[in-house]
């Protein structure tokens, strides 16, 4: 077999995506590889395809149990022999995996980094034909990465134990130049083929909102996107609990995930989301790395993350099937203070770091937070802001983010900017101290707060000179002055606003200040993006229903049967034979053998009904009698609205409407 035959037989695709073919060719030529590919770009195929062509076993080092389980289930569904080794296995199960591996029953074995240097696994590895070691989420090896894991430092020791060194490959979704150098050096890669395929995910719509009431705005977004698989990221456990409770009280099927829950509850909640039993996951950043749920179509950040790397990795969990998806950030100035607090306390308990290293990491994290804040407050293209951060040179207008879809006007803010900068100077001249954004705003607006009077700030010439300007506008201009480099923000727990040399020069020269302010917003979400190839929604719903039936019987997530993108391709191609079914994107030979007849029967039944001018069982709204009866049975069984919606492949509001129309629910 060659790489194209493997791709088609096991993964059901005719061609490779950008960068995949070059990576595979270099691996098959015996070269080490370092690949930086965005979430959803197909990293796993880059090592799974060569693993099938190399003589021995490929060991995949992965940081999370959920990632291994998901990847292995997906491979087995595709007909590839694979297994995982981690703490979820008991001693008997572990011995059985090793026994089968020694007998050559697996081509890929996923391993937690903590297991690598145990005596039993080392003994197995040294006596087996290990052709490749792949390090997934390889940024975890670097202290300068956003998710450093000390256990990853054991990997070089493990590789060094081999008498014949295997090919070593490393993959990650996000990495700065410093992190890339760390990955190559710490893993001991030898003259690696290095590739960055580009960070742009064109199917993702990016938006930043600055709501007055964040929870109300969240409810509005969720209501507009009923029936969509959604992840809501929060910065703290407390916010996770608050948001999840609020969603459940409103009748949404939501669950939660954070480090304060027991292992058992985290597992149950994660499975409920993966198996589409629950439509909304509310979580801290403890959730998601390696979660390969292809049908997530909405990511909401309830709080701003600490850096762009984390934000883009989390946002990238939407639209993994290539379908349109939305990534919405709800921003508040309070997020910056919260992020600074989290940074200040992030490495206190890490005894492996010196005080100097902790200080260096904090300084790096503060700089990354500043870049994240620029993203949240900029009026420029959001996509361009992200891509520039990762070193790419994108066009300044993408046409598919909230800023590009907002009508802006350029406003002269010279007088207001001069007042703000003058206030910053006068505060320092008053008592030799600088203050934060909130205090500067209070002075400008003439606040009567006790702390203002106690410190004599009410005697300054700039006190109250912007009393008629809303706080929101002052903060917008303040953020713009920081973004443009006229002001800087310094400090840890209590950040202060400091003028730069650029500000002094601008004031002396009487420079004109301008900024773009929104006139009106037309929210173009992912659902408004026109489909390139329209599909029949009734047939798609029937295919989704069949997929859910199969998945429930097999006790696997529905997307492991076929992704939404594959079902849509079935609707477009309308295959009538097994040979034609194999031509559907995402249908490999094993899945065709397992599920082909089931889906072909659904397509034939639909096609026959269409030829007759509509099925005799069709009723108003595109629902059939059979479907309506199934609704009644599902309600009687106690299934939730989200579960019923997933089984029928229809939005929850459409299902609810049908339930009331038929009197099933009153």
H/E stretch holding 206 reads strand 204-209
pLDDT at position 642 is 66
pLDDT at position 363 is 86
Interval 356-403: pLDDT, tens: 878 888 888 888 999 999 999 998 899 999 999 888 888 878 888 988
Tokens of 281: 């996951």
| Interatomic CA distance for residues 219 and 251, integer angstroms | 11
CATH 1.10.10.10 fits 408-521, yes or no: yes
Range scoring the smallest mean pLDDT among 177-181, 329-333, 616-620: 616-620
Please say whether the beta carbons of 547 and 561 come within 8 A.
Answer: yes
pLDDT at position 415 is 94
Question: In CATH, what number does 537-661 get?
Answer: 1.10.150.80
pLDDT at position 355 is 82
Residues 6+ positions from 271 with CB-CB distance below 8 Å: 277
Interval 242-267: pLDDT, tens: 999 999 999 999 999 998 999 899 88
Q: Which of 640, 525, 646, 518 is nearest to 223 (CA)?
A: 525
Model confidence band, residue 348 (pLDDT cutoffs 50, 70, 90): low
Tokens of 55: 């003589």
User: What DSSP assignment string belongs to 17-80?
Assistant: -TTHHHHHHHHHTT--EEEE--TTS-HHHHHHHHHHHSSSEEEEE-S-HHHHHHHHHHHHHTT-
Average pLDDT over every residue of 453-458: 92
More confident residue, 350 or 636: 636
Tokens of 528: 């408004």
Q: Which residues of 297-317 are buried (b: 16+ CB within 10 A; e: fewer)?
A: bbbbbbbbbbbbbbbbbbbbb
Please say whether the beta carbons of 427 and 457 come within 8 A.
Answer: yes
Q: Which 3 state secondary structure label does DSSP give 149?
A: coil
User: What DSSP assignment string belongs to 586-630?
Assistant: T--HHHHHHHHHHHHHHHHHHHHHHHTTS-TTB-GGG-BHHHHHH
Q: Tell the CATH superfamily of the 204-403 domain.
A: P-loop containing nucleotide triphosphate hydrolases (3.40.50.300)
| Interatomic CA distance for residues 174 and 10, integer angstroms | 28
Residue whose tokens read 């907002």: 406
Residue intervals of the chain classified under CATH 1.10.150.80 are 537-661
User: What values do phi and psi take at 287, rounded to 5?
Assistant: -100, 135
Average pLDDT over every residue of 277-298: 83
More confident residue, 664 or 485: 485
pTM of the model: 0.70
Instruction: Answer positive or negative: Cα dihedral of 222, 254, 650, 399.
Output: positive
User: What values do phi and psi take at 468, rounded to 5?
Assistant: -90, 5
User: What DSSP assignment string belongs to 27-40?
Assistant: HHTT--EEEE--TT
Q: Tell the CATH superfamily of the 3-196 domain.
A: P-loop containing nucleotide triphosphate hydrolases (3.40.50.300)
pLDDT at position 458 is 93
Interval 606-664: pLDDT, tens: 988 766 655 444 444 556 666 677 777 777 767 777 667 766 666 666 777 777 777 77
Interval 24-80: pLDDT, tens: 999 999 999 999 998 778 899 999 999 999 999 999 998 877 778 888 998 999 999
More confident residue, 600 or 398: 600
Range scoring the smallest mean pLDDT among 62-66, 71-75, 162-166, 510-514: 62-66
Average pLDDT over every residue of 302-330: 91
Q: pLDDT exceeding 90 applies to what percent of the chain? A: 52
| Interatomic CA distance for residues 644 and 653, integer angstroms | 11
Q: What is the mean pLDDT of the chain?
A: 87
| Interatomic CA distance for residues 606 and 615, integer angstroms | 8
Interval 184-199: pLDDT, tens: 999 999 999 999 988 8
More confident residue, 494 or 588: 588
pLDDT at position 581 is 95
Residues linked to residue 194 through DSSP beta bridges, in sequence order: 34
Q: Which 3 state secondary structure label does DSSP give 537?
A: helix
pLDDT higher than 50, residue 527: no
| Interatomic CA distance for residues 568 and 579, integer angstroms | 18
Residue intervals of the chain classified under CATH 3.40.50.300 are 3-196, 204-403
Q: Which 3 state secondary structure label does DSSP give 144?
A: coil
Q: Which of 310, 311, 376, 349 is nearest to 145 (CA)?
A: 310
């Amino acid at each position: 077999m060659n790489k194209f035959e493997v791709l088609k037989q096991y993964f059901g695709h005719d061609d490779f995506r950008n960068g995949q073919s070059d990576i595979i060719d270099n691996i098959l030529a015996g070269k080490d590889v370092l690949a930086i590919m965005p979430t959803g770009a197909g990293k796993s195929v880059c090592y799974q395809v060569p693993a099938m062509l190399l003589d021995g076993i490929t060991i995949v080092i992965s940081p999370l149990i959920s990632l291994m389980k998901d990847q292995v289930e997906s491979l087995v569904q595709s007909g590839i022999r694979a297994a995982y080794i981690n703490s979820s296995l008991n001693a008997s199960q572990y011995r059985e995996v090793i026994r089968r591996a020694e007998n050559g029953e697996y081509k890929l074995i996923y391993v937690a980094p903590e297991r690598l240097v145990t005596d039993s696994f080392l003994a197995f590895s040294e006596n087996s034909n290990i052709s490749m070691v792949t390090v997934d989420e390889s940024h975890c090896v670097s202290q300068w990465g956003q998710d450093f894991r000390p256990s990853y430092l054991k990997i070089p020791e493990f590789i060094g134990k081999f008498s014949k060194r295997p090919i070593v490959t490393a993959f990650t979704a996000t990495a700065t130049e410093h992190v890339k150098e760390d990955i190559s050096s710490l893993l001991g890669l030898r003259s690696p083929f290095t590739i960055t395929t580009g960070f742009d995910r064109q199917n993702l719509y990016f938006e930043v909102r600055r709501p007055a009431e964040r929870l109300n705005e969240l409810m509005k977004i969720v209501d507009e996107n009923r029936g969509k698989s959604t992840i809501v990221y929060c910065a703290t456990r407390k916010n996770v609990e608050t948001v999840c409770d609020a969603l459940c009280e409103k009748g949404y099927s939501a669950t939660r995930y954070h480090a304060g829950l027991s292992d058992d509850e985290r597992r149950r909640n994660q499975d409920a989301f993966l198996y589409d039993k629950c439509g909304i996951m509310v979580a801290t950043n403890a959730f998601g790395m390696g979660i390969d749920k292809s049908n997530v179509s909405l990511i909401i950040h309830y709080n701003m993350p600490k850096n762009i790397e984390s934000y883009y990795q989390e946002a990238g969990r939407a639209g993994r099937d290539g379908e349109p998806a939305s990534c919405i950030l709800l921003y508040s100035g309070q997020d910056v203070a919260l992020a600074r607090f989290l940074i200040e306390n992030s490495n206190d308990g890490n005894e492996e770091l010196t005080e100097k290293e902790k200080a260096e990491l904090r300084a790096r994290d503060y700089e990354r937070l500043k870049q994240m804040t620029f993203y949240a407050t900029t009026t420029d293209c959001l996509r361009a802001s992200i891509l520039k951060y990762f070193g790419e040179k994108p066009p300044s207008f993408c046409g598919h983010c909230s800023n590009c879809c907002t009508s802006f006007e350029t406003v002269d803010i010279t007088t207001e900017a001069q007042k703000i900068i003058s206030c910053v100077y006068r505060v320092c001249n008053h008592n030799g101290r600088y203050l934060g954004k909130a205090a500067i705003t209070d002075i400008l607006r003439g606040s009567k707060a006790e702390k203002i009077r106690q410190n004599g700030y009410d005697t300054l010439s700039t006190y109250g000179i912007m009393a008629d300007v809303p706080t929101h506008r002052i903060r917008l201009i303040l953020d713009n002055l920081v973004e443009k480099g006229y002001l800087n923000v310094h400090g840890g727990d209590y950040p202060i606003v400091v003028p730069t040399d650029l500000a002094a020069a601008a004031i002396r020269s009487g420079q004109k200040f301008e900024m773009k302010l929104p006139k009106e917003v037309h929210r173009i979400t992912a659902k408004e993006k026109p489909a390139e190839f329209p599909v029949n929604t009734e047939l798609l719903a029937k295919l989704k229903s069949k997929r859910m039936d199969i998945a429930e019987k097999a006790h696997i997530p529905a997307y492991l049967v076929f992704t939404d993108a594959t079902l849509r391709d079935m609707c477009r191609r309308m295959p009538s034979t097994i040979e034609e079914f194999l031509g559907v994107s995402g249908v490999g030979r094993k899945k065709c053998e397992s599920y082909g007849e089931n889906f072909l029967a659904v397509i034939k039944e639909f096609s026959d009904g269409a030829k007759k001018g509509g099925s005799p069982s069709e009723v108003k709204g595109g629902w059939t009698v059979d479907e309506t009866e199934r609704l009644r049975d599902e309600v009687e069984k106690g299934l939730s609205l989200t579960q019923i919606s997933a089984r029928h492949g229809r939005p929850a509001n459409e299902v609810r409407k049908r339930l009331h129309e038929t009197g099933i629910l009153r």
